């Protein structure tokens, strides 16, 4: 047997090993995690029976959407490389995903392909949103920034709309079932005349695991078969779920969903004003045109030649002028009455007008209270008057039958 140098033997091992394992995918737990000043990551992947040194170059690490740490279970794709100076083999990582997310992503891709082939995302299945919804159903967590942001937007843009919240879990065990129950409540379990004109299903951003409830086929089916148009606003702009794609409208954020659901009252008032100005401009234009015709007739040769014809035409002109002035006055008064009526209706929609008549609003830290059952003895609340707010503590209830009788709560002002 010929004697070889260590370098030659190591080179032979390197060539054979690397050619045999050009691409591998392994699952294991990170340990001995190190990231020196070079920015590269050195770590060990292990399971209960073996361990494997691994290297993640700086350029690859910069593309990760999560932080690596000891104890994290991951799925790693890469290639086997022999490092001669240390006489060891190691895994050069080309991609890393949390073990749970990798499985969720594969399940997401399979469901996406199946629903796409079945046509669930096609435009012909999308319901149009109502132009001016009177009643909006909100399906989200009752606490947190999402419900506050949506209520702020809806209250600013179109305070006349009635808001009805069905509180649900938005992640974890039972979240999918909670969302399905909310959609079923709004679409089948209340009388048709009390159902919302549009539903908003919303939650804040999170990881793929956090958003998993909205990637469940059962939730997608509930949204797809909803008789009420659904706006889906799950996560941030970059988060896309199955619920977003099957919904009638997808919004990048919950605030955008609120903007899409209602018109802007400022735009509506400007449009109303334009509609009142248009007939007035048309009427004035007709009057000016008629006056020009009158001037043309009175200045013509045929008009001035015979005295009889002059008297006759003058009489006709006087009659025409009186008629036009009367008609113009009636139309102007009618237009003014319509404008005043519209202003009075808009004024009546302002909740502050109701407060000035002696009514009050009661709210606690979770929002406005519309029924007596929303408060218990010892609760702290705030009573809102037309000119100020007063903090109070509940000492008892006069009527014990005023408790809420359903999971949804009316929010008349957010």
Which of 297, 319, 348 lies at the terminal end of a domain, its last residue?
A: 348
For residue 189, the domain's CATH number is 3.40.50.261
DSSP structure string for 60-128: HHTT-SS---TT-EEEEEEEEEEEGGGTEEEEEEEEEEEHHHHHHHHHHHHHHHHHHHHTTT-GGGPPP
Residue 358 included in any domain = yes
Is residue 244 within 8 Å of residue 221, measured between CB atoms? no
- Residues 134, 204 within the same domain: yes
Instruction: Provide the β-strand partners of residue 234.
Output: 203
Tokens 């060990």 belong to 44
The string of pLDDT tens digits covering residues 373-398 is 778 888 899 999 988 999 999 887 76
Q: Which domain holds residue 42?
A: 6-98
- Residues 258, 129 within the same domain: yes
Q: Helix (H, G, I), strand (E, B), or coil: what is residue 166? A: strand
Residue 301, pLDDT above cutoff 70? no
Residue 137 included in any domain = yes
Q: For 141-291, list the strands marked E by DSSP.
A: 162-167, 198-203, 230-234, 249-250
Residue 108 included in any domain = no
Is residue 143 within 8 Å of residue 366, measured between CB atoms? yes
Which of 31, 65, 98 lies at the terminal end of a domain, its last residue?
A: 98
Residue 161, pLDDT above cutoff 90? yes
Per-residue pLDDT, 89? 94
Burial of 46 (0-12, 13-18, 19+ CB in 10 A): middle
- Residues 57, 177 within the same domain: no
- Residues 301, 397 within the same domain: no
Residue 114 included in any domain = no
CA distance 340 to 273: 11
Reported pTM:
0.49
- Residues 89, 134 within the same domain: no
- Residues 245, 280 within the same domain: no
- Residues 236, 154 within the same domain: yes
Residue 248, pLDDT above cutoff 90? yes
Tokens 């089948």 belong to 188
- Residues 143, 256 within the same domain: yes
Nearest by Cα to 49 from 26, 78, 70? 26
Per-residue pLDDT, 404? 42
Report CA-CA distances (Å) from 104 to 81, 100, 193. Answer: 30, 6, 40
Average pLDDT over residues 260-276: 84
Residue 158 included in any domain = yes
- Residues 135, 219 within the same domain: yes
Q: How far is CA 132 from the centre of its chain?
A: 17
- Residues 92, 224 within the same domain: no
Number of domain units in the chain: 4
Residue 48, pLDDT above cutoff 70? yes
- Residues 213, 276 within the same domain: no
Nearest by Cα to 411 from 375, 357, 361, 376? 361
Residue 159 included in any domain = yes
- Residues 251, 303 within the same domain: no
Per-residue pLDDT, 386? 84
Residue 252 included in any domain = yes
**∠239-242-245 over CA atoms, to 5°?**
85
Burial of 228 (0-12, 13-18, 19+ CB in 10 A): middle
Q: Which range has the worst mean pLDDT, 46-55, 208-217, 266-275?
A: 266-275
Q: Which helix (H) or strand (E) holds 131?
A: none
CA distance 63 to 9: 37
Per-residue pLDDT, 399? 59
**Which token pair is 83?**
């490092």
What is the chain's alpha carbon radius of gyration, rounded to the nearest angstrom? Answer: 36
The DSSP symbol for 272 reads H
Residue 51, pLDDT above cutoff 80? yes
State phi, psi for 369 to the nearest 5 degrees: -100, 120
Higher pLDDT, 303 or 343: 343
For residue 33, the domain's CATH number is 2.40.50.140
Residue 107 included in any domain = no
Nearest by Cα to 331 from 300, 287, 374? 287
Which of 263, 289, 309 lies at the terminal end of a domain, its last residue?
A: 263
């Amino acid at each position: 047997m010929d004697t070889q140098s260590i370098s030659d033997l190591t080179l032979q091992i390197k060539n054979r090993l690397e050619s045999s394992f050009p691409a591998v995918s392994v699952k294991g737990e990170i340990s001995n995690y190190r990231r020196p000043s070079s920015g590269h990551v050195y770590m060990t992947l292990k399971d209960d029976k073996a361990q494997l040194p691994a290297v993640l170059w700086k350029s690859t690490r910069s593309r990760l959407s999560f932080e690596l740490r000891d104890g994290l279970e991951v799925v790693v794709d890469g290639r086997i490389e022999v490092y001669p100076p240390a006489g060891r083999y190691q895994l050069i990582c080309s991609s890393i995903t949390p073990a749970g997310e990798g499985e969720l992503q594969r399940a997401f891709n399979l469901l996406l392909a199946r629903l796409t082939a079945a046509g669930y995302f096609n435009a012909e299945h999308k319901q149009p949103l109502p132009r001016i919804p009177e009643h909006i159903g909100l399906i989200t967590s009752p606490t947190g920034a999402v419900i506050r942001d949506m209520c702020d937007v809806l209250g600013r843009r179109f305070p006349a709309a009635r808001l009805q919240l069905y509180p649900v879990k938005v992640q974890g065990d039972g979240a999918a079932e909670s969302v399905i129950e909310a959609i079923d409540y709004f679409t089948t379990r209340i009388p048709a005349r009390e159902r919302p004109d549009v539903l908003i299903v919303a939650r804040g951003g999170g990881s793929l695991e956090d958003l998993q409830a909205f990637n469940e086929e059962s939730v997608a089916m509930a949204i797809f078969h909803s008789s009420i148009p659904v706006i889906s606003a799950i996560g941030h702009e970059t988060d896309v779920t199955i619920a977003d794609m099957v919904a009638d409208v997808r919004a990048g954020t919950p605030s955008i969903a609120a903007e899409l659901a209602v018109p802007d009252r400022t735009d509506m008032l400007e449009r109303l004003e334009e509609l009142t100005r248009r007939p007035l401009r048309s009427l004035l234009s007709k009057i000016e045109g008629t006056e020009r015709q009158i001037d043309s007739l009175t200045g013509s040769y045929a008009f001035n030649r015979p005295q009889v014809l002059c008297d006759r035409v003058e009489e006709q002109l006087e009659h025409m002028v009186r008629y036009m002035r009367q008609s113009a006055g009636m139309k102007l008064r009618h237009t003014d009455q319509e404008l005043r009526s519209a202003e009075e209706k808009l004024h009546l929609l302002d909740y502050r007008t109701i407060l000035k008549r002696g009514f009050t609003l009661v709210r606690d830290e979770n929002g406005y209270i519309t029924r007596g059952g929303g408060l218990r003895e010892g609760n702290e609340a705030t009573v809102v008057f037309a000119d100020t707010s007063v903090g109070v503590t509940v000492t008892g209830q006069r009527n014990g039958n005023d408790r809420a009788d359903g999971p949804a709560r009316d929010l008349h002002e957010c």
